[in-house]
Structure 1
Amino acid sequence: MGLPRWLPLFAQLVVLQLPGTWAEDTIRVFVVPHSHMDVGWLYTVQENMQIYAASVYTSVVRELTLKEHRRFIAVEQEYFRLWWDQFASRTQKLQVRELLAHVPAEPPRSGVDLAFPLCLPHQVRELLAHVPAEPPRSGVDLALSSGLPHQVRELLAHGRLEFVSGGQVMHDEAVTHFDDQILQLTEGHGFLYETFGIRPQFSWQVDSFGASATTPTLFALAGFNAHVISRIDYEIKEALMHAQEMQFVWRGSQSLAEQQEIFTHVLDFYGYCSVGYSWEGEALLLTQFQNEEHNNLNDPVTVSNIGMYVERFVLDVKSRASLYRTPHILWPWGCDRTFFNAGVQFANMDLLLHFLNTQASQLGITVEYATLGAYFRAVHAHNATWRTHGHQDFLPYSSGSEPKGHSAAVYNPLAWTVTTLINLTVSFPSVTVTDESGHPVKAQVQSSKEIPHKYDLYVLTTIPGLSYRYYSIRPTEQAPEGKQATTATMAFTSKLDRKPRKPSTRPWGKKLVSVKNDCYTVFLDPDTNLMHSIWERQSNRTVSVTQEFLEYTVSGDKNDAPVSDNYVFLPKGPADPAWEAVRVEMVRGRLLTEIRQYFYRTLEAKEHTYAIYSRLAHVPLGFDRELLCHHLEQELRVGPLQVNREAVLRTSTDLQSLRVLHSDSNAFQMQRRLHRDYPAHTISRVRWRGLGAGASTGAPLLPVGVEPRLGQPGV
């Protein structure tokens, strides 16, 4: 048969050296299983209970009862209370009480997890026979035994289940009022005390965007012994990691000082998710709600791949060990909506953790299931001296440095699903974009139109109504392990030299410069660098469209009232062209083509005064192409303006619009606007002369002031 495939990997682990990053002492890893359950995010509370939340507690309680060495922490009480009241049987409730009541003694420091019998590598095959099959795709485990309440009490009694934080939710810290923080914490703690006679001792604020100084003060006042945070500014976190100051005593209140201080632990760059160790995938109902397939599933632990898992685990552990001052590593195991099929997850974890412990002397690490309480008791026993952090908070929050990547949260405030392109500025041209599940996302990168040596990144996203999407953005060479590194496509740029202002003489049919997508072709006049016309594929019509910036001279003399200001528009005469030359850049990519028109006040001007950025999207198959393809977006840049001058963008077409204009209403929806005659104020009113339903200029044009001046009806 030859040597097992994993033996060469173990040989590499034994001899591998990473000077300056590996801890000298044996590293003790505390694996803390958890499931992060957002109460207000993608779905309603009731939908989350149906999708995964009820199954998390049902399957976790069952698995904790089956194996005494397993542990789990529960955080948000909103879901646990619903499960307790609506799903848990009497036996399960008793088991939870039993698991919570007695905290186990500290495990031995000898290295090996004694909850397992010793097992040599060649016996892994026998262990694998007991791993449950891949979870069925039928959805969530809602099968309830009659003994759930009893099981919960047993788990609590033996310290295998631990409640941390204990509030109804994991509250935000940037904008929430402290009264609301106290209220939701009091409600959750009241339930736990009335039901189990316990009060949480540790916090778990791992997903709040930033960390305020009020929260540790309130937790200290509530009697907490330690505080866990994660999302702080990336530069601050990097500095703390470099200085091994990821743990400190936080005196959040300037007035209370040491009277209300709390030991604080900052999670490392991995955060609260254990990427690459998910064997349960995602609940089928979740993929049905999203109307797409998210198969975030890692291969089960087998003889052929256990070496790979061990190598990755050890490298992660020893890189983490360099960031903290004690040889104790807190490893949160889980992520959003995990452990809904706890049987499969725990079975694979059992194999990996046990196998690691059989190799403890060679690898230099020991691994054990743990609660937060077990971890902090071990850290406390180390008897180290900790730095004191004052009342400064960790706000605002920024999630990634541009050299190393960052993340973006995108919100759809509408009630329906939207497919669109979002734009960010990055410092690197080779970019990888992944979603919250680690799947690659279509993106395009191009040179920035505003900032030298920067890049504009466009990401194609589909977001359900009233929902968020999170994206991770980083240089391609720094794509996370286990993720598919699909690089954003790079756009290429062509240019038209600066052309002086003059009437357009190019007739129809002569050679024009074209820019197109599947719905429109935009033609530019190379003699003037102005827009010439637009062809629409669906109707096979070509419409003459020209645009230019003009300026009104207005009254600014207070001695000659009234004055033209923010409320009253009082021009002294007709508008004049505000430019003498135009330069064009055309940036073509797979997702987007952008026309950049730069308007210069004089022929010799080095900097432009006005700019129009026109964008046409190229929507790949498989996405909702209708709205995005038919959307010709324009972005305007204006200024600096001269004193007593008002700027307008004049759009002229040959559409027969019957003096009707469509524009947006407070960015809510499009508004049909009819022309109105004001005989006494003809020059001070916007003059609508025919721009119609088929030529909506869109919201981006409105902030400058749209003055449609249309030619004779001809279409």
Structure 2
Amino acid sequence: MLSMAILQGRGAFWVVLLQGAFMLLLSSRPVVHASLARAQSPTGGSNGDDATPTMIQAFIIPHSHMDVGWIYTVQESMEAYAADVYTTVVANLVKDSKRRFIAVEQEFFRLWWTTVASDTQKKQTHQLVQSGQLEFIIGGQVMHDEAVSEYSATIQQMTEGHSFIYETFGKRPRFSWHVDPFGASSATPTLFALMGFDAHLTSRIDYDIKEQMQKNKGLQFMWRASPSLGESQQIFTHVMDQYSYCTPGRLPFSLKTGFYWNGYAVFPKPPPGVSYPDMSLPVTNENIKKYAAVLVDNIKQRAAWFRTQQLLWPWGCDKQFFNATIQFENMDKLVAYINQNAKSLGVQVQYATLGEYFQAVHQTNLSWALKQEGDYLSYSSAANAAWTGFYTSRSALKGIARRAQSTLHAGETLFSIYLHQPKLNRTVNTTEVLNSLQGLRWASAEVQHHDGITGTDSVKVKGMFEDHLETAENKTLASMKKVFQDLIKNPGRDEEEPDILTSVGPGRILDVNRDKPLAPILVYNSLGWSVKRLVQTSITDPNVTVIDIHGRDIGSQVNPPLEPGGPYHLFFYAQLAPLNLHMYYIKYKTHPSDTTAHHGKLESLGAVALDITPSKDTKPMQGADVKSISNDCFEVTYDTTTNMLMAITDKKNGKTIPMEQVFMEYYSHYNAMFGQTSNLYVFRPWGAGPHTAGESAKLDIVTGPYVNETRQSIFNMYDPKNSRFVVTLRIFDLPHSHNDDIVCGHIELDFKVGPLMPNKELVYRFSTKLDSSRVLYTNDNGFQTMKRTWRPNKPEPEAQNYYPLVSTAYIESPKDDIRLTVMAERSHGVGSLNNGQMEVMLLRRLITNSGYDDKNNLTLEEPEVAMPTLWLLLGNRTHSSELQRRAWLHLENPPIIMAVNQNPEVLQKKLKGNSPNPLPTVLTDLPLNVHLLTMKIPGWTYKTSHKEHLRSLQARLRQGSYDRSEEDPNLDRILLRLQHLYEKGEHPVLSKPATIDLAKFLSPLGTIASISERSLTAIWQADQVKRWTWKVKDDPSASQQFNNSGAATPRARNTTIFTLNPQEIKTFFITLQKTEA
């Protein structure tokens, strides 16, 4: 077989000549094609018990790949084709019980169901779902990205989709269809197993690895992705072959689209009639043999790559089946002809769902190879096409998405606490609050799409995601204000009601002046532990004092503006109980001498020419050319001859680590005439490595008792007055006797970078003397640590040794017991390209001449400014392991801060009366190794018991009600998830099992009336999850066969005490006994 590829981004054309007979054209995205290159570490292979040669049984799976945002917005797709997919598919499945279809991403289906479908269509859909003709696959709102998505957001979006399906139809998805995410994460199969899936399907893995898998018949295997959870959460995995999810394209006897008789969808609206571009020639008596020959040859070619005679043959591609009538009419003829000639052709075909195919494979009872290590990141579709650029593309969108997820978590926990607050006269419209949370749930779910948070969307689709997120987040914040207002009012008093003004989080300014001499500030902690931190907000006047609710001064510091005329930065000490609300007051003082806030002292060092040279061990660490800032944990030293970082001293162990931090830029391949370009997806640098960014550096140093910071500004020769890049480094101390390892033990880096010059890709590189052997550790989706050893002999050595930084990445020197950890609040690309180095990509700007990218506006041409934040940890491995999990959650989930507007006299009365904290119900801290992953009021009305839910559903259907229950939302049921934060062996103490008594933890809110342990997305009772058992060859575990049903610890009924083993997540439905208001 001859194969060749011509790649230009995602809009690639690749040509495969099948036995020299015909040409195939892929759809608008490249899938992995065959290659003669050998895999470095192929997975799978023949185990000696393959099925005996018999007739090939091809399971034809009709489907449509419907991107929830890529080139076109969701609304444009609904109008052009998506609604028609379900309208015509339902009509055609009803006509013939042998026909099948799989529904994958729920956003389009839900929109069709709620805005388009008639009662008749809904009734028919119910019948098709119950008969198995229409099967929900994956079941999430979207087919989420696997590289840069964060695991809690993945769980959330899957839960939204699953709950809609289960509440509406009583069905629970059991199979995945991850055909398009750009690489395969180790977290995905584990999470799917925890959701109760029986099998997992993926596609986009390195072209050379897939080629080797095909040769070895190793495309199917058991994936035991979590060493901590082990065999209980392994899953049967199917990797799609080189044709991926599309059927063969252009055929030798037709200039049309091969097997797509409905042609291509037309935007913005369907054309009149049924005339679409590139509609395939109808199947006739004259050409049916030709069609059949192509299809059968392709089936036989693909069957040779698998061990069983059962073959998955996907029939569909992007935006297909919008006219299912013409599709099925032609497909029916072809299917009938092949089956009538099955004996001579050696192939039998049938329409099938994915579940029917996997069931047939499962029934072969073969033993499967076991994959226990690694993942399939990063992903390359060709030698020079490493899909590692999207780890950073559209940094602002990535930041907005993660911030919205944090706001959602805060809003969910606050609403849960509010509804169960004893003796509270609630006046807030709870339905409105739930609706605002639901809107943010959907917006957050939507952006997890593999063309959403990846930044691989068109400019207008990026705008759609940002608008949906920001609109929904603002509505949630507005609801939170109302809840806060209810919580802080004094019951039974005739006084002015408080007015929550606004969020004063990052980027928002609190106007403290003479007109508002006393400004109350609410601070809400959404984490399950007590938190000590220096809360930061921006103010317009530096002469302030910060007091607590009892009128006592607390530690605070005001630092000067970052830019002339800008706001001042106020830091004040806050000690926050878990899931609790605290109030502080900022008092304006007329005279600076009356203030108790400390003022940071500014020292400015002039700009000097950049001179990046390797660290010199002999250079003195003190003297006229050295400046340092320090706290109780670190001393950070700069060389004033270059204004660059020189070293960091870890005061805990007395070790000084020479370290340089520098902005660098890669030049990008941008001319398509010379092969693959850098684009939204692909990172392809040009030239010999990155170059130092800028010509000069200015250093400002601010010192104070609580916050010490340096501000490094980088300038170019052509604009010496306006900095291109700014990084502010901060270290913190708390007031005396309030020490905290996380506050003291992290170094904060705040960036403001961009816009870049065209065809530049900006990185921030850390260079140390650590002997790391170019080994990098990253965290798949923030869930599981992966060891990344250097991949030698790669055509693109930089790009193909880049990996996603979702939460943490680190390098370490085992012999010196030193680890450098980087934590991020949005995703980036990260690599360790030299010994002792780690670099993080911050921003990209590309202007290429790729016609496809330009035509579809899949560009990175806009002059973006990015403002990401990184936290650094530096210390021994044990201490770093202890801090990094919780520290990242502190970074990811900062306190919600809001200002209150109320009459100062009323506030003074409260102060004099020593009013209690707004939330007197203080929950106890969770163990340090247990994270409150979810606490929410989902509002779903389906019954906790599956049997009761089905009875209720059937009753509704008999009454002619086909939608979800019309009952009021269930506001009594709490969805609670607890996660053991640490992996097996990660920490000598914190990796041990943790036991929690939920009755004790929730006792301030009430007594538990009922508790039900659930699957990860809550649609299964945990003890009813009975996943398929698969045989594993050469299984190192104790048993050859085992039940895949549950989590790592046994379940007991009628108990509130649960034990979590390393990396385990437990999910519960909990109701509390009602208390009198």
* Larger relative contact order, structure 1 or 2 (CA cutoff 8 Å, min sep 6): 2
Larger radius of gyration: 1
TM-score (norm: length of structure 2):
0.33
| TM-score, length of structure 1 as denominator length | 0.49
